[in-house]
Structure 1
Amino acid sequence: MSSDFIKTEDGTEIFYKDWGPKDAQPIHFHHGWPLSADDWDNQMLFFLANGYRVVAHDRRGHGRSTQVDTGNTMDQYAADASAVVEHLDLRNAIHIGHSTGGGEVARYVARYGQPQGRVAKAVLISSVPPLMLKTEQNPGGTPIEVFDGFRKALAANRAQFYIDVASGPFYGFNRPGAKISQGIIDNWWRQGMMGGALAHYEGIKAFSETDQTDDLKAITVPTLILQGEDDQVVPYKDASVLQHKLIKGSTLKLYPGYPHGAFTIHADVMNPDMLAFIKS
C-alpha cells in the first residue's frame, strides 16, 4: 500500500496515503489549514514503526486533492473523511486531528464514525472546536476582524501570508529565543501553496464560524485533548479547556510554552504521549 485517490459523490478526487499492514489497527490523521497529509510525516513514520497502519488524506482543495469551488465546509470535510474511511474499510480506528483537522475529526466521529461503529478513540491537537469566533454566547472567542484580516492577506498575497504565518505565530518562531527551523517554515509554505486559493479562502469561514458544541457533546469514545498554552492561533482556554468540559470522560493535557504547531517541533514529547493513550 502506498497512495491513491478516491472519488466522492460530487466527483471530487481525494488523495490519501495508506501505509502498513491491513490487519494492523489503523490511525487516521486529519491535517490543519491550509496544509496537507504531509504535515503528519513524522507521526506516520513513528506509528508505522510501532506496528500501526497509518492513513492520512488531503482535504478537498488542499494538497493533491481536487481544487474544487464547492464543499469547503466542515460538513463536507467530515463527509469526505468518511468516504476515505469507507473506501479503505477502516475499523477500530484512532482518529487524530490538528487544528481544522480536529474539527473535522469531531464532526466525523459524531456523525459518521460512532454511528457506524468504526472509531475506537480520538485525539484532538490544538483543535478549533467548539467555536473560534467571538459571539455573545462565546465571549472568549476571536473577533471576526482577525479572520477578515486572514482573508484580506490571503487574497492580496497568499505566498507572503503563508511565509508570515509559518515563520511567526504557528510554531512560535516569533517568540524571543525560539529555535527557528527554516526547513519547517519552507515545508509549511510548500504544503500551503500546493492547495487552492479559493478552498483556503472559504476554509477560513469553515474553521472559524462552525459551532461544534453538539459534535463534542455527542462524542463517547475515549478522547485525548492536547494543546500548548502558548498557542497564538487557537487560544487554549476557548478550545481545549472547553473541549474537555464538553466531551464526557476526555483526557486533557496542556503543555506550558508550546505553540500551535507543537506536534511538529515537539514530536519527541507528543508522539509518546499519544502512543501511551492509544495503548491504554
Structure 2
Amino acid sequence: MTFVTTKDGAQIFYKDWGPKSAQPIVFHHGWPLSSDDWETQMLFFVGKGYRVIAHDRRGHGRSSQVSDGHDMDHYAADVAAVVQHLDLRNAVHVGHSTGGGEAARYVASYGENRVAKLVLISAVPPLMLKTEANPDGLPIEVFDGLRKQLAANRSQFYLDFASGPFYGYNRPGTKASQAVIWNWWRQGMMGSAKAHYEGIKAFSETDFSDDLRRITVPTLVMHGDDDQIVPVADSAPLSAKLLKQSTLKIYERLPHGMCTTNADLVNAELLAFVAA
C-alpha cells in the first residue's frame, strides 16, 4: 500500500490512479469514512483519462490511528504532504461533507499555486455550529448527541446513521440499499474511535469563513435541499457568497450522500465543471 509520512509521524494512505501526465483530481472524503467512498467517482474520471487521487484522513481507513491532530489544520497539512509527495499541479480538489471543509482549508492555506478548481459537495463550511454570529446553525446539543452515541455503541450508531439520515433512507418511499449501508459501516469501523470522536468538533466548530474569502479559484458548490446532516440553508448559499468565483447548484430532494445515491448526476456535473 502507498503511504506518506507527515511531519508529526502520521502515515497517510492514498490511492493514485491514471496517467501521471493527466490533470489530477483530488478527492476528500467525509466523516467517518475513507477514500473508498469515492470509488464511483474515481472509476468514472480515470475512465475519462484523468489522474485521480484520494487519501484516508488521519485516523480513518488505512491511515495510522494516531492519538493527536484530529483538527482541520492537521487535516489540511496532511493533504499538503500528499500533494507535495506526488507533486500535483493544476489539480481539481473535490470535497464532500467534512472533506469539503478540509479541501477549503487546504486550498486557502497551501494550494492556490497548485490548484485549478475546487468543488464543495454537501460541505460543512462556512460553520455548522450555532453561535451568536451564526444564529441559524445547529445547537451544540446536536453534536454532543453524536459524541454520546459514538462513545456508547459506535457500531450501532454507524449502522443507524447510514440506514437513516445520511442517504435519506428514512424518507417515505425511499428504497434503502443494504450494500450501501454496510459499505458505509465497514468504512467507519475501519477507523479510530478517538479520531472520529474528536473529528466531530473539527467538522462542527471550525469556522471556514476566512478560508472561503481567501480562495480565488473557480469553485462549484453543490448541495441537496433534503440534506439532513448539513442543512443547506446554513451552508451552501453562504459559502457561495463568501467565495470569489462560485457557482451554486442546489438539487431538489437529494440527500447528504448524493455522491452515492445520485452518482450519475453528480459525475456529470463534476465532469462539466472540470472540463470547462
TM-score bracket, normalised by the shorter chain, equals: over 0.9
Q: How does 1:58-137 map to 2 (within 5 A)?
A: 58-114=56-112, 117-137=113-133
Name the CA distance, whole Å, in 2 between partners of 1:273 and 1:6: 31
Match of 1:54, SS state, is strand
Identity rate of aligned residues, in percent? Answer: 70
Q: 1:139 aligns with which of 128, 135, 140?
A: 135
Q: How does 1:31-42 map to 2 (within 5 A)?
A: 31-42=29-40
Given the two structures, how large is their TM-score scaled by the length of structure 2?
0.99
1:169 aligned residue: 165
Q: 1:274 aligns with which of 255, 270, 274?
A: 270
Match of 2:2, SS state, is strand
Match of 2:179, SS state, is helix
Q: 1:263 aligns with which of 259, 266, 269?
A: 259
Q: How does 1:187-266 map to 2 (within 5 A)?
A: 187-266=183-262
1:14 and 2:15 aligned: no
1:49 aligned residue: 47
Q: How does 1:147-162 map to 2 (within 5 A)?
A: 147-162=143-158
User: 1:179, CA displacement in angstroms?
Assistant: 1.8
Q: Deviations over 1:120-177 (max 9, x none)?
A: 0000000001100000100110000000000000000000000010000000000000
User: 1:227, CA displacement in angstroms?
Assistant: 0.5
Give every structure 1 segment of 4 or more consecutive aligned residues whose post-TM-superposition deviation is greater than 3 Å: none
In structure 2, stretches of 5+ residues that fail to align are: none
Name the CA distance, whole Å, in 1 between partners of 2:171 and 2:90: 40
Report the count of equivalent residues: 276
- What RMSD, in angstroms, separates the aligned Cα atoms of the two structures? 0.5
In structure 1, stretches of 5+ residues that fail to align are: none
Q: Deviations over 1:19-50 (max 9, x none)?
A: 00100000000000000000000000000001
Given the two structures, how large is their TM-score scaled by the length of structure 1?
0.98
Name the CA distance, whole Å, in 2 between partners of 1:258 and 1:265: 8
User: 1:195, CA displacement in angstroms?
Assistant: 0.1
Name the CA distance, whole Å, in 2 between partners of 1:88 and 1:249: 27
User: 1:91, CA displacement in angstroms?
Assistant: 0.3
